[in-house]
């Protein structure tokens, strides 16, 4: 991990020279792979993937006896080396095949291919289910040991020419991209010549089956055959070139350095080098395999059906099978229960692992209900406890408890956990503790005893999935947590533990004591000394010297869409000039460049490129194109060329030293089902929403390290208040937190917005809250920017105090607020522009704990202030101590 962070930092600081170093080609040696292989953040953050074994075996009689996922090998009879239970299994399978289909010499494996038809396969629906169940990547098998390719292959035995007559890899990838998931492939090809050795006596030269059974290669000496090793290389490289996977899993041996002319390591290093070349020297792909004798920092180690005894220094993969037999068989039994599977998954993640769950589709392409139940239950757990899973890293220790896990492949745990089995993850200042069995008595965690590994004073402990306040006690022996009246329904329970003062560090300055908080290197400066402020405005002309000095006093500044466009000719140049001027005064200020994900504003020079993109804009069913308030076009995010254009521009702007990130507006328009539904239809709107998710994932992947992405995304009107989409961003801007919608009352809507903001802030996300000071707008959007302008002499104190109180009951470290009467500062539009309220300079100090909600009243204590917010009566009280 240190190597990864160091490489990213070097690329950021030393620009061209460092880029050349990062982009250096990896030599085809394990030593070079060990020096340069870097696990991308998306894999470490995503944590959960679904593997699919599906192919010719899936279409065979579902009531067949156990075949160990090797029907094609066993149907031809035992090998000379088989004995005991394995020989018995093979003989039973041969007998079954003979009775069910006929003698293998007459009805061979090639005759089973037409039985695999995939007639009910809906890849989009299945991938959506995977995503809803918590998956962040999918990995179908491209070719198993049976030598049948599940894609449009140069090898004649493939799913396009035979069986389903569909390019399944292409369709899996399209579905994954539509739903914003990463796409991997798994190949099991290498030992295919050995797999079919007992079928060889029945093959005839010159037939198509000759190629299926690898008759041109030796069944035992194939690892030394140059022809086979090159054939393997070419088949694998074809997958990489044609399907451009984010992950390549080699689930079999490969040509080694002694007998195979190093073609194995050549393929793997070439896969990484290809990615480095396409991504400016930054690795974005994952290579995994099961080679226990190779350096574990040279690839991602697949501990298939195994586990880790301790925290591994490098990210690894726990792959397990939910079907009971890898390929579908109706009578197969998964001896790992659902609660144990979830406990095993959390155990792996606590030890730096990533989880890959295999499902086996039926031959018709449907997902068996018993396997779906595993994913559904796991998904429900992740909806409750996902904040302690996604984006986390191992803590100082993985946990405690009586159940000991084996270290290595195979032998995965199938025993039930107890409530004494605890696992930890962490994210920022937050520690997550998972109880791996539903507790029946008070939870005891010895690792968190006073004076132990958790050195900070505990400030808050919350149980994920319940709002009940927990009673707890920390002694020199243990941390004890009393159970709430009602436990969440998940088989594993998650706890959020935060330090007192939210890990605020006290440092000495020339002015005395400062409560400046530290965090991720690219985050803005933050301090609890006074109310943390944010700035968000637009001015089409050049800023004056006074205005630049004013802006430079804020830690985070968003330059809205028309910034400087009249003076400098475009929003790009105007924003860049303003950013340079601000950074010249305050190099630590974070300046964000504005981009709207939906609306095409005319002040951008980059818009010239839209003429080269057919279908760039949405068109209503009546032919109209200016769909945003009748004055401007709306981007068609279902268009991949348009999405690439949009992402490329954002990435290009972040490459300027003065631009610290992107502010993304218009997200609600992409996600709100009602927006443009009547104009373009439900299906098209869904395609736009799906395209939005893909575009945000692409932006996250391509944004340079150290640059911020802040989106206007938290909104109570969205499912889960938009929190599901925060995976793409460093934080959220908020406007309209008081603007009721979706049939909720004003109080219900605001309470839901407060809860969502608190959750995001506690999860370490940046919060930039916009609060309008003027009276409510009488019509239109009724968001903060559309509130009525303040009038000369108008008493702003009650509203200002209410805005600040609302912010303070939500705020955590990296939360900032902007009270205002409009974003525009053209021609004295705003009466608070260049002003500073006295409340901004009053001592605040860190919070003593989270806000307490009693009915519709929130209270919270800070070191130097007491906050009361009454959202029913729209009143607040700030008492400064």
The tens digit of pLDDT for each residue in 839-864 reads: 999 999 999 889 999 999 999 999 99
Q: Return the H-helix or E-strand segment holding 445.
A: strand 443-445
Distant-in-sequence, close-in-space partners of 261: CB < 8 Å, separation ≥ 6: 226, 229, 255
Q: DSSP assignment of 637-676, as one string?
A: TT-HHHHHHHHHHHHHHHTSTT--EEEEE-HHHHH-TTTT
Please compute the mean of the pLDDT values over residues 176-190 and round it to a whole number.
94
Beta 852-854 vs 422-427: how paired, if at all? Answer: unpaired
Mean pLDDT, rounded, of the chain: 90
* pLDDT tens digits for range 629-648: 888 999 999 999 999 999 99
pLDDT for residue 61 = 96
**Average pLDDT estimate for 214-229:** 96
> With 70 as the cut, is the pLDDT of residue 15 above it?
no
For 303-437, strand residue ranges (E) read: 316-321, 353-360, 399-400, 422-427, 430-435
| Phi, psi of 313, deg, nearest 5 | -65, -25
Length of the chain as a residue count: 881
Confidence of residue 795 (pLDDT cuts 50, 70, 90): confident
The band of 776, judged by pLDDT with boundaries at 50, 70 and 90, is low
Query: What letter would DSSP give residue 73?
Result: H
Please provide residue 498's backbone torsions phi and psi, each rounded to the nearest 5 degrees. -125, 145
Q: In this model, does residue 80 exceed pLDDT 60? A: yes
Gap between the Cα atoms of 33 and 242, Å rounded:
24
By C-alpha distance, which of 517, 583, 595 is closest to 556?
583
How far apart CA 749 and CA 747 sit, in angstroms, is 5
In the predicted structure, residue 869 carries a pLDDT above the cut 70? yes
Q: What percent of the chain has pLDDT over 70?
A: 93
Q: What is the pLDDT of residue 794?
A: 62
Residue-wise pLDDT for 447-506, tens only, equals 999 999 999 999 999 999 998 889 999 999 999 999 999 999 999 999 999 998 653 333
> What is the secondary structure of 114-144 as a DSSP string?
GG---TT--HHHHHHHHHHTT-SEEEEEEE-
pLDDT at residue 501 in the model = 63
> pLDDT tens, 137-152?
999 999 999 999 999 9
Question: Quick one: pLDDT band at residue 628, thresholds 50, 70, 90?
Answer: confident
Cα 131 from Cα 146, distance rounded (Å)? 29
Question: Rg of the chain's alpha carbons, rounded to an integer?
Answer: 30
Cβ(534)–Cβ(554) under 8 Å? yes
The pair of structure tokens assigned to 711 is 């989106």
pLDDT, tens only, 673-701: 888 999 999 999 999 999 999 999 999 98
pLDDT, one tens digit per residue, over 21-65 is 344 689 999 999 999 999 999 999 999 999 999 999 999 999 999
For every residue of 301-336, DSSP letters joined together read EE-TT-B-SS--SS-EEEEEESSSSSS--TT----S
Task: Give the model confidence (pLDDT) of 716-728 as tens digits.
Answer: 988 889 998 998 9
Helices (H) and strands (E) in the chain, counts: 22, 31
Do 591 and 582 touch, CB atoms closer than 8 A?
A: yes
Max Cα separation, the chain?
A: 99
pLDDT tens profile 403-462: 999 999 889 999 999 999 999 999 988 999 999 999 999 999 999 999 999 999 999 999
Question: What percent of the chain shows pLDDT beyond 90?
Answer: 80
208: left (phi over 0), alpha (psi -120 to 50) or beta: alpha
pLDDT of residue 737: 86
Residue 641 has a pLDDT of: 94
**How crowded is the C-beta side of 38, counted as CA atoms within 13 Å?**
22
Q: Pick 251 or 775 by higher pLDDT.
A: 251
């Amino acid at each position: 991990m240190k190597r990864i962070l160091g490489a990213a930092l070097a690329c950021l600081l030393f620009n061209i020279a460092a880029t050349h170093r990062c982009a250096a080609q990896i030599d085809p040696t394990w030593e070079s792979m060990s020096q340069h292989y870097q696990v991308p953040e998306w894999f470490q953050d995503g944590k959960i993937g679904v593997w699919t074994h599906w192919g010719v075996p899936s279409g065979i009689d579902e009531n067949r006896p156990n075949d160990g996922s090797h029907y094609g090998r066993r149907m031809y009879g035992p090998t000379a080396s088989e004995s005991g239970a394995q020989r018995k299994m093979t003989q039973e399978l041969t007998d079954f095949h003979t009775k069910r289909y006929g003698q293998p010499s007459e009805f061979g494996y090639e005759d089973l291919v037409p039985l695999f038809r995939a007639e009910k396969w809906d890849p989009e629906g299945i991938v959506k289910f995977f995503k809803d169940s918590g998956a962040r990547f999918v990995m179908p098998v491209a070719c198993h040991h049976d030598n049948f390719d599940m894609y449009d292959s140069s090898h004649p035995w493939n799913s396009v020419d035979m069986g389903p007559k569909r390019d399944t890899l292409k369709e899996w990838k399209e579905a994954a991209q539509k739903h914003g998931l990463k796409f991997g492939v798994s190949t099991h090809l290498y030992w295919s010549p050995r797999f079919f050795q007992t079928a060889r006596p029945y093959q005839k030269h010159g037939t198509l089956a000759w190629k299926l059974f690898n008759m041109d290669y030796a069944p035992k000496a194939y690892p030394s055959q140059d022809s086979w090793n090159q054939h393997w290389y070419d088949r694998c490289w074809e997958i990489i070139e044609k399907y451009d996977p984010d992950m390549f899993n080699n689930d079999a041996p490969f040509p080694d350095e002694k007998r195979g002319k190093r073609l194995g390591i050549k393929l793997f290093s070439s896969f990484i080098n290809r990615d480095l070349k396409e991504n400016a020297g930054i690795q974005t792909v994952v290579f995994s395999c099961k080679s226990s004798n190779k350096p574990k920092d040279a690839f991602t180690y697949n501990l298939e059906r195994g586990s880790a005894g301790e925290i591994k220094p490098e990210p690894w993969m726990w792959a397990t099978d939910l079907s009971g037999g890898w390929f579908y068989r109706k009578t197969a039994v998964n001896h790992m229960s659902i609660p144990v599977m979830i406990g095993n998954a959390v155990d792996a993640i606590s030890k730096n692992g990533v989880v890959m769950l295999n499902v086996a589709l039926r031959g018709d392409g449907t997902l068996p209900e018993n396997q779906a139940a595993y994913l559904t239950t796991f998904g429900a757990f992740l909806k409750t406890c996902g904040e302690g899973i996604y984006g986390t890293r191992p803590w100082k220790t993985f946990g405690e408890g009586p159940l000991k896990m084996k270290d290595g492949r195979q032998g995965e745990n199938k025993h039930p956990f107890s409530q004494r089995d605890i696992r930890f993850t962490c994210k920022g200042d937050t520690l997550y503790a998972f109880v791996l069995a539903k507790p029946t008595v008070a939870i005891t965690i010895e690792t968190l005893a006073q004076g132990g590994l958790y050195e900070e004073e505990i400030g808050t402990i919350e149980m994920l999935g319940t709002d009940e306040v927990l009673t707890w006690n920390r002694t020199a022996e243990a941390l004890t947590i009393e159970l709430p009246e009602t436990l969440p329904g998940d088989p594993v329970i998650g706890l959020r533990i935060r330090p007192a003062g939210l890990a605020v560090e006290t440092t000495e300055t020339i002015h005395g004591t400062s409560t400046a908080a530290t965090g991720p290197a690219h985050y803005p400066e933050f301090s609890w000394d006074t109310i943390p402020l944010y700035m968000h405005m637009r001015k089409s002309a050049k800023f004056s010297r006074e205005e630049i000095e004013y802006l430079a006093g804020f830690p985070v500044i968003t330059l809205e869409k028309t910034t400087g466009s009249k003076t400098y000719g475009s929003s790009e140049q105007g924003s860049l000039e303003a950013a340079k001027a601000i950074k010249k005064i305050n190099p630590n200020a974070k300046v964000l460049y504005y981009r709207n994900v939906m609306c095409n504003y005319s002040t951008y020079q980059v818009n010239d490129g839209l003429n080269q993109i057919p279908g760039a804009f949405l068109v209503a069913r009546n032919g109209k194109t200016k769909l945003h308030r009748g004055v401007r076009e709306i981007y068609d995010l279902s268009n991949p060329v348009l999405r690439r254009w949009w992402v490329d521009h954002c990435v290009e702007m972040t490459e300027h030293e003065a631009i610290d990130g992107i502010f993304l507006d218009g997200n609600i328009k992409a996600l709100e089902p009602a927006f443009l539904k009547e104009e373009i239809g439900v299906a098209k709107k869904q395609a736009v929403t799906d395209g939005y998710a893909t575009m945000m994932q692409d932006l996250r992947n391509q944004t340079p390290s150290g640059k911020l992405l802040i989106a206007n995304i938290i909104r109570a009107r969205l499912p889960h208040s938009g929190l599901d989409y925060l995976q793409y961003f460093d934080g959220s801007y908020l406007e309209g937190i008081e603007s009721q919608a979706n049939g909720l009352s004003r109080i219900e809507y605001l309470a839901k917005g407060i809860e969502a903001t608190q959750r995001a802030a506690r999860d370490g996300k940046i919060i930039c809250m916009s609060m309008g000071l003027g009276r409510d707008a009488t019509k239109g959007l009724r968001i903060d920017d559309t509130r009525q302008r303040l009038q000369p002499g108008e008493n702003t104190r009650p509203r200002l105090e209410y805005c600040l109180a609302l912010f303070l009951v939500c705020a955590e470290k990296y939360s900032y607020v902007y009270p205002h009467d409009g974003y525009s500062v053209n021609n004295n539009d705003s009466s608070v522009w260049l002003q500073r309220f006295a409340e901004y300079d009053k001592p605040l100090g860190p919070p003593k704990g989270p806000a307490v909600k009693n009915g519709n009243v929130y209270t919270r204590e800070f070191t130097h202030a007491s906050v009361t917010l009454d959202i029913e009566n729209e009143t607040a009280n700030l008492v400064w101590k």
